[in-house]
Structure 1
Amino acid sequence: MVPFVDLKAQYASIKGEVDTAIGRVLESCQFTLGPEVGAFETEFSAYCGATQGIAVNSGTSALHLALLAAGVGPGDEVITVPFTFVATVSAICYTGATPVFVDIDPQSLTMDPTQIAAAITDRTKAILPVHLYGQTADMDPILAIARARGLVVIEDAAQAHGAEYNGRRAGSMGDMGCFSFYPGKNLGAYGEGGMVVTDNPEFTRTIRMLRDWGAEKKYEHVLKGYNYRMEGLQGAVLRVKLRHLETWTQARRSAAARYDRIFSGSGVSAPIEMSYARHVYHVYAIRTQRRQSWQDALQQRGVSTGIHYPIPIHLLPAFADLGYVEGQFPHSERAAAEVLSLPMFPELTATQSAEVGDAVIALAQESRACAATA
């Protein structure tokens, strides 16, 4: 069986380093925030090309606090995309603001900048592009629109650790960048975790207070805040894993290149790395109109797959109150119906890649044969 991810293989490769790091925290008994989290904030923000990092307990919390720091609240609107994980939109709703959707570009599957201007109203406060699957959105035109209109840009970089846009790291281009360290991410904790990176000291100060009950000093509560602190154990683990992230990223890119070679000329719709991008392949998603049958057949052939994401946010029952209907965002809806994520992790071997590729190509050939006889 080719697994979709293999976290055990990754742990085995760094077990000694991780165990030592965890031991330091256990000996120190500094289990919430503390020196390991502080050091990780410094190291990860520098990796991203930002001057400040504020560690929190999840990527969702990072988005929530970044929006609050930007002054987003009831009556405001935030422009984002419907083809994303639900946390992107939920975080906007947590602030009392209204999500406003624009469609995606059909090649990159990220925010289409040409759709933004028509979505801006006098209530628009921020733009929240999503760097999907490990590839950044087309940031220059997004930033140009935001600067011209006085809007804040918050990057949802939860899937884009180390991704680049014209040489600039994800998270460093907007006013703030938000990351998730969920275990399956390219840089994953052994539990939950997240971070906001920024160059803005006021945003930093506000988010540091908000994550810790709004306190600037112990028991001096300046704001109405939250318990969004990162655990010391997660900071220690993430410091270890950050040292390996570039090696793992190159391994992911090599695995993606193997897939690309295997699928070349086969008719399989493989992901597109945009000319501006350094794609870090958190997900390698092909596309097929026969997704369910392909997923079932691949499972039977020993290949695990995933779907990211099967229903665009505007069509989820939880967000019916936003008033959107089917057909409003055709590229998002089509992608949601077609994407199928193949196994992708740094330890994926050439043999495993070939096994997956052969199985997918066989299905593509069967689909073409069925279509020809229909």
Structure 2
Amino acid sequence: MKIPMLDLKKQYSQFRREAVKRMKRLMGDQDFILGKEVELLEERIARYCGTKYAVGVASGTDALLISLKALHIGNGDEIITTPFTFMATAEAIVLAGARPVFVDIDRDTYGIDTSLIERAITSKTKAIMPVHLYGLCVDMDPILKIAARYGLKVIEDAAQAIGSEYKGRRAGSLGDTGAISFYPSKNLGAFGDGGMVVTNDKKIYDRARLLRVHGMAKAYLHVTIGYNSRLDNLQAGILNIKLKYLDKWIEARMRNAAFFNKRLNALPLKLPLVPTGYKHSYHLYVLRSSFKDRIEDHLAKNGIETRTYYPLPLHLQRCFKYLGYNKGTFPEAEKASEETFSIPIYPELSALQKGHIVRKTIQFFNSI
């Protein structure tokens, strides 16, 4: 039995006819850049996330970058974030001209350790960028209090967390802006790249709309330097279809997680922690063990694909050597990189597939 980390073909079979019909219509209209589908998606994503505004952009990375620039963050500024995340988080900070300042993570949730943020603040600090990793929101109340105390902005990296909730509020709606990714593997994924900036601030919304289209206020009249970061109408058309399924897919991921939690609970594995008042959307189902490599090898031999997110934290990446961090600077992030791995959690997993994953995981521990 072969079980991939994600099976988009199974997902596509659920809406194939509607997708083909939508693509034929859009190709007939020859309406490709921004357009009505983008406008409709922006309205729907804003409503879904619980924000007043949404701006479609070319990728989740651009959603972070444009959020930063819409907040007038640039050269000489410092942004506090986590080293245990995908490259785009810190990359966007650097592309904006600012400097990432890393803070270690919480051992249980893998999100930024909020108790360490305040000591990282300097006179150059302009914002905090928490990452809602794997689909679990960061503890936002302490971050918002610190931001208010020091006059800082908060940019939520919600690339993996559309539909996740923190104390009844959706990811992306808690800070000054939220950045969403529509990369194909995300819970709401396009047929290519795409992203969205969500916000409740009209000024940020207006500036983000300028920045995504070369700073152009009217045709060929540019009021600022911007970017070529427009969400394609074709991608928005697909996302408008898939958005109708999102809650059902998240519920299926949650059921799959409950299945694994119940059956793997007795093993010497650290299972995902979901604090009270949080809704985990399970973009990834992450396990932790000192036997990580051996478990992954065993599962691979039995046809089960696993992944490590992320094998080398950002502060140890070659491109960030200039920041001056060393091995041992952020021990929790480094340990998580060595011990965590993900197993398939996608909505279309069959009972047979889930049972196979559980049996082979138990088999490993019975063999040691």
Structure-1-length-normalised TM-score = 0.97
Partner of 1:228: 229
* Distance in 2 separating the partners of 1:293 and 1:228: 42
Instruction: Give 3-state SS (helix, strand or coil) of 1:154's partner.
Output: strand
Partner of 2:178: 177
Instruction: Give 3-state SS (helix, strand or coil) of 1:340's partner.
Output: strand
**Which amino acid in the other structure matches residue 107 of structure 1?**
D
Deviation at 1:350, TM superposition (A): 1.9
Q: Is the 8 A contact 1:268 1:364 kept in 2?
A: no
* Distance in 2 separating the partners of 1:122 and 1:4: 44
**Which amino acid in the other structure matches residue 214 of structure 2?**
W
Aligned runs of 1:68-79 on 2, under 5 Å?
68-79=69-80
Deviation at 1:292, TM superposition (A): 2.1
Instruction: Give 3-state SS (helix, strand or coil) of 1:104's partner.
Output: coil
**Which amino acid in the other structure matches residue 319 of structure 1?**
F
Once the two structures are overlaid, the 10-residue window that deviates more, 287-296 or 224-233, is 287-296
Q: Is the 8 A contact 1:126 1:152 kept in 2?
A: yes
**Which amino acid in the other structure matches residue 110 of structure 2?**
L
Aligned runs of 1:345-364 on 2, under 5 Å?
345-364=346-365
Aligned runs of 1:282-297 on 2, under 5 Å?
282-297=283-298
Deviation at 1:23, TM superposition (A): 2.0
Give every structure 1 segment of 4 or more consecutive aligned residues whose post-TM-superposition deviation is greater than 6 Å.
Answer: none
Identity rate, percent? 45
Deviation at 1:276, TM superposition (A): 2.8
Instruction: Give 3-state SS (helix, strand or coil) of 1:78's partner.
Output: strand
Q: Is the 8 A contact 2:65 2:95 kept in 1?
A: yes
**Which amino acid in the other structure matches residue 279 of structure 1?**
H
Partner of 1:263: 264
Q: Is the 8 A contact 1:255 1:350 kept in 2?
A: no
Q: Is the 8 A contact 1:134 1:280 kept in 2?
A: yes
Q: Is the 8 A contact 1:58 1:192 kept in 2?
A: yes
Once the two structures are overlaid, the 10-residue window that deviates more, 181-190 or 14-23, is 14-23
Instruction: Give 3-state SS (helix, strand or coil) of 2:135's partner.
Output: coil
Instruction: Give 3-state SS (helix, strand or coil) of 1:133's partner.
Output: helix
Deviation at 1:360, TM superposition (A): 1.4
Partner of 2:148: 147
**Which amino acid in the other structure matches residue 247 of structure 1?**
K
* Distance in 2 separating the partners of 1:253 and 1:329: 31
Partner of 2:30: 29
Partner of 1:311: 312
Q: Is the 8 A contact 1:258 1:350 kept in 2?
A: no
Instruction: Give 3-state SS (helix, strand or coil) of 1:344's partner.
Output: coil
Instruction: Give 3-state SS (helix, strand or coil) of 2:25's partner.
Output: helix
**Which amino acid in the other structure matches residue 59 of structure 1?**
G
Partner of 2:198: 197
Partner of 2:210: 209
Partner of 2:342: 341
**1:317-340 deviations in Å (ceiling 9; x for gaps):** 111111001111111111111111
Q: Is the 8 A contact 1:80 1:111 kept in 2?
A: yes
Deviation at 1:178, TM superposition (A): 0.2
**Which amino acid in the other structure matches residue 351 of structure 1?**
L
Partner of 1:372: none
Unaligned runs of 5+ in 2: none
**1:146-179 deviations in Å (ceiling 9; x for gaps):** 0111100000000001000011000000000000
* Distance in 1 separating the partners of 2:364 and 2:328: 29
Q: Is the 8 A contact 2:268 2:289 kept in 1?
A: no
* Distance in 2 separating the partners of 1:59 and 1:72: 18
Deviation at 1:210, TM superposition (A): 0.7
Instruction: Give 3-state SS (helix, strand or coil) of 2:206's partner.
Output: helix
Partner of 2:41: 40
**Which amino acid in the other structure matches residue 223 of structure 1?**
T
* Distance in 2 separating the partners of 1:152 and 1:83: 21
Instruction: Give 3-state SS (helix, strand or coil) of 1:285's partner.
Output: strand
* Distance in 2 separating the partners of 1:153 and 1:171: 10
Partner of 2:168: 167
CA RMSD of aligned residues (A): 0.9
**1:117-161 deviations in Å (ceiling 9; x for gaps):** 000001000000000000000001110110111100000000001
Q: Is the 8 A contact 2:118 2:146 kept in 1?
A: yes
Structure-2-length-normalised TM-score = 0.98
Partner of 1:110: 111
* Distance in 2 separating the partners of 1:234 and 1:148: 40
Instruction: Give 3-state SS (helix, strand or coil) of 2:309's partner.
Output: coil
Deviation at 1:267, TM superposition (A): 2.0
Partner of 2:249: 248
Partner of 1:331: 332
Instruction: Give 3-state SS (helix, strand or coil) of 2:268's partner.
Output: coil
**1:251-296 deviations in Å (ceiling 9; x for gaps):** 0000000000110212222111122310000000101222222222
Partner of 1:219: 220
* Distance in 1 separating the partners of 2:248 and 2:267: 30
State whether structure 2 residue 92 is matched by structure 1 residue 91. yes
Deviation at 1:351, TM superposition (A): 1.7
Deviation at 1:19, TM superposition (A): 1.4
